[in-house]
Amino acid sequence: MSSFQPRRPEDQYTAIPPTSMSSLGSPAASDSQRDKIASAVAHGHLGGDYGPYSYTPSAEAGNLRFSAAMSDPHYTPSTKAASSRHLIERNSVMPVYTWDKAPEVDDALHDPRVKMDTKFTLWSWRGWLNFITLLILILGMMMLFLGYPLYDAFAHHTIKLSGYNLGGINGSGQIPDLNLKLLVDDDTPADAYSRTGSDGRSYALIFSDEFEQEGRTFYAGDDPYWEAMDIHYWPTGDLEWYDPQAVTTEGGRLKITMTEQENHNLNFQSGMIQSWNKFCFTTGYVEAKVSLPGNVNSPGFWPGVWTMGNLGRAGYGATTEGMWPYSYDACDLGTFPNQTGKDGLPDNTEASIWGGKLSYLPGQRTSACTCEGEDHPGPKNSMGRAVPEIDLLEAQIDVSVFRGQASQSFQLAPFDYSYYIDNSTITVYDEDISQVNSYHGSEWQEAASVLSYFPDSAYGTDGELIVGMEYWSDPDNRDDGYITWYLNGVESWTLPASALPARDDVEISRRLIPEEPMYLIINLGMSPSFQQADFKDMEFPAHLYVDYIRVYQRTGLDTDETIGCSPSNRPTADYITNHANAYSNPNLTTWSDAGYNFPLNSKYDGC
């Protein structure tokens, strides 16, 4: 083992200046002592050995750190004694055995008894800065957890209609105040912001969708104004399942694709989008530019652009039972089941062209005959509420000449004798291309309809066909109501209110040009109830393209009543919420299936 050698000769160590015990309590003395100790540490006179502030790291202090004796041959007992005396002298400042009780040498550096400046003044900028900072923090916390909640409670109107409801995002039917797509699409060209109606009045654009954004989806909650259905549209016996994956945007157009593939035990898949309970309007002009699937030699596709009253959700049979296609505000036999009394009178068998009852409808559910206190959407039980339908386009093919035709219709109830409206008052603008539809109704609906030929160029990916519908209704002056349909910007036919008069022969009152808030529907279907399909010539996948859809209204209207799905004069929100089961389950076919009862009819049931 090598001998221990001190790291520094002993004569390089200097004794610490004597420290008075009493001086540790004096701030001034402590400051001076602290400076001296710091200087000693800096110059290596203090703290140079193994422990903090070790005074004598040399061997003369004895082998304090090692249990074994040192091997230095020059180290003798006399040297040890002399060194011990020198150690005691150098540390005579403090008693040898009082280290645990007395202050240590380094206490001057951290003695808690040492007080700094204890003076107080109001003019300390640092003190005021600390105070102001704390005050800001306290006031900020109070505003966050107390001030803002109070402000919100008393200064902000309560939102009665949530942004989420049946139908997903913006399911309240009110126009959302969100940083999302606006009612009028920014991509709408400036020259499309206004138009002149068939009535000579000025119309302003209130809604548009140009479908320019690529790859949009329409699953529930994806879009503020549209939702793609995930249902089988059984009411018309369709052959396809409507699936949201069949709807997207591509090349600046809405694209609905019908494919021949199994989906929910059906052989075809296609798409339908609705603005139900999201965007609605009351009166106005709707226009859409479309490209139709297939060609004139492939009948069977059923593309549609249409509108319906918000109290009925298309494809949800329970919601439309006793509501569609009524447009009626009278309390009489027209609201009864089958349009007859409980005694079976009048016998309207002769009024039907089908050899049975004139009507198989269950009666108007929320009629003007609804007893007080019974279930009714309001605003009063004596107002007839229902679900009318106006179709801008249902495209078919006239297989006698293989030309495309647009069926433009108004579906209505209760029914006229033999389902004939008063055609003497309608206007067909060009009888060379337009003619009254030979189908005008059945036990389930009456149809005021005209068929108009359109060019073959409407078909295919690059096809173009512009369809439109303008209607006006006024509850205070119902004689002024009308519906006018357009094809490629030209009027095709007009249905005035006078074509829907009261009919003594079936004991009903006038039917109304729709006064309900209406929503938009675009779909590509297929059903033998509309036209038999020629599968030999039909090709799949087939596509319906929509370049744009736009809605206009007369200028100067009260938009609180004419834009939205639940206006105060024709509310729908509470009724939909209170019957959520019916409006959320497409598998329910009747109102009773959903767990609800028809309200009592004062004339049919008594109150």
pLDDT digits over 396-443, tens only?
Answer: 999 999 999 999 999 999 999 999 999 999 999 999 999 999 999 999
Q: Please identify, among 48, 75, 110, the residue that sits at the C-terminal boundary of a domain.
A: 110
The rounded distance, in Å, linking the Cα atoms of 561 and 280 is: 10
Q: Does 196 map to a domain?
A: no
CB-CB contact of 241 with 235 (8 Å): no
Average confidence (pLDDT) over 455-480: 97
**Among residues of the chain, what percentage have pLDDT more than 90?**
70
In the prediction, which pLDDT does 87 show? 43
Higher local confidence (pLDDT), 375 or 146:
375
> How long a stretch of residues is the chain?
607
In the prediction, which pLDDT does 327 show? 98
Statement to judge: residues 77 and 221 lie in one domain: no
Q: Does 59 map to a domain?
A: yes
Q: Please identify, among 52, 87, 110, the residue that sits at the C-terminal boundary of a domain.
A: 110
Average confidence (pLDDT) over 504-519: 97
Q: Does 411 map to a domain?
A: yes
Can you say how many angstroms the Cα of residue 188 is from the centroid of all Cα atoms in its chain?
22
The rounded distance, in Å, linking the Cα atoms of 310 and 573 is: 9
Statement to judge: residues 318 and 427 lie in one domain: yes
The rounded distance, in Å, linking the Cα atoms of 407 and 395 is: 6
Those residues whose C-beta lies under 8 Å from the C-beta of residue 320, and which sit 6 or more positions away, are: 235, 312, 313, 314, 387
Higher local confidence (pLDDT), 42 or 481:
481
Average confidence (pLDDT) over 214-224: 96
Statement to judge: residues 359 and 408 lie in one domain: yes
Q: Does 540 map to a domain?
A: no
Question: Which residues form the domain of 388?
Answer: 217-261+297-464+478-527+554-584
pLDDT band at 446 (very low <50, low <70, confident <90, very high): very high
Residue 504 has pLDDT above 50, yes or no: yes
Structure token pair of residue 230: 């995930």
Q: What confidence tens digit (pLDDT) does each residue in 308-341 have?
A: 999 999 999 999 999 999 999 999 999 999 999 9
Residue 60 has pLDDT above 70, yes or no: no
Average confidence (pLDDT) over 54-73: 43
Residue in the block written with tokens 């095709």: 492
Statement to judge: residues 428 and 342 lie in one domain: yes
Query: Read out DSSP for 395-451?
Result: EEEETTTTEEEEEEEEEEBSPPGGG---GGG-EES-TTTEEE-S--EETTEEEEEEE
Closest to 519 in 3D by CA, of 302, 287, 278, 284: 278
Residue 174 has pLDDT above 90, yes or no: no
In the prediction, which pLDDT does 113 show? 57
Those residues whose C-beta lies under 8 Å from the C-beta of residue 603, and which sit 6 or more positions away, are: 331, 332, 333, 335, 336, 369
In the prediction, which pLDDT does 117 show? 55
Query: Read out DSSP for 513-541?
Result: S--S-EEEEEEEE--TTT----TTT--SS
Those residues whose C-beta lies under 8 Å from the C-beta of residue 512, and which sit 6 or more positions away, are: 327, 328, 329, 388, 473, 478, 481, 497, 500
Statement to judge: residues 139 and 66 lie in one domain: no
Burial letters for 22-51: b for 16+ Cβ neighbours within 10 Å, e otherwise?
A: eebeeeebbeebbeebeebbeeebbbbbee
User: What phi-psi label fits residue 436: left (phi over 0), alpha (psi between -120 and 50 degrees) or beta?
Assistant: beta
Q: How many domains does the chain have?
A: 3
Residue in the block written with tokens 């219709």: 409
The rounded distance, in Å, linking the Cα atoms of 189 and 125 is: 62
In the prediction, which pLDDT does 565 show? 98
In the prediction, which pLDDT does 156 show? 59
In the prediction, which pLDDT does 181 show? 56
Q: Does 595 map to a domain?
A: no
Statement to judge: residues 373 and 486 lie in one domain: yes
Statement to judge: residues 254 and 129 lie in one domain: no
Q: What confidence tens digit (pLDDT) does each residue in 551-592 have?
A: 999 999 999 999 999 999 999 999 999 999 999 999 999 999
pLDDT band at 147 (very low <50, low <70, confident <90, very high): confident
Statement to judge: residues 106 and 130 lie in one domain: no
**Residue 165 phi, psi dihedral angles, 5° rounding:** -160, -160
Which pTM does this prediction carry?
Answer: 0.72
CA distances from residue 353 to 358, 419, 454 in whole angstroms, order as listed: 8, 8, 30
Q: What confidence tens digit (pLDDT) does each residue in 91-116 have?
A: 444 454 445 556 666 666 665 555 55
Q: What is the mean pLDDT of the chain?
A: 84
Q: Does 169 map to a domain?
A: no
CA distances from residue 199 to 1, 147, 328, 517 in whole angstroms, order as listed: 119, 54, 24, 21
Statement to judge: residues 380 and 355 lie in one domain: yes
Q: Does 538 map to a domain?
A: no
Q: Does 26 map to a domain?
A: yes
Statement to judge: residues 140 and 68 lie in one domain: no
Statement to judge: residues 103 and 133 lie in one domain: no
Four-residue CA torsion sign, 149, 153, 154, 158: positive
**Residue 10 phi, psi dihedral angles, 5° rounding:** -60, -35
SS3 291: strand
Residue in the block written with tokens 């005959």: 369
Statement to judge: residues 223 and 317 lie in one domain: yes
CB-CB contact of 560 with 294 (8 Å): no
Residue 300 has pLDDT above 60, yes or no: yes
In the prediction, which pLDDT does 34 show? 60
Q: Please identify, among 85, 110, 135, the residue that sits at the C-terminal boundary of a domain.
A: 110
In the prediction, which pLDDT does 68 show? 41
The rounded distance, in Å, linking the Cα atoms of 325 and 332 is: 17
In the prediction, which pLDDT does 352 show? 85
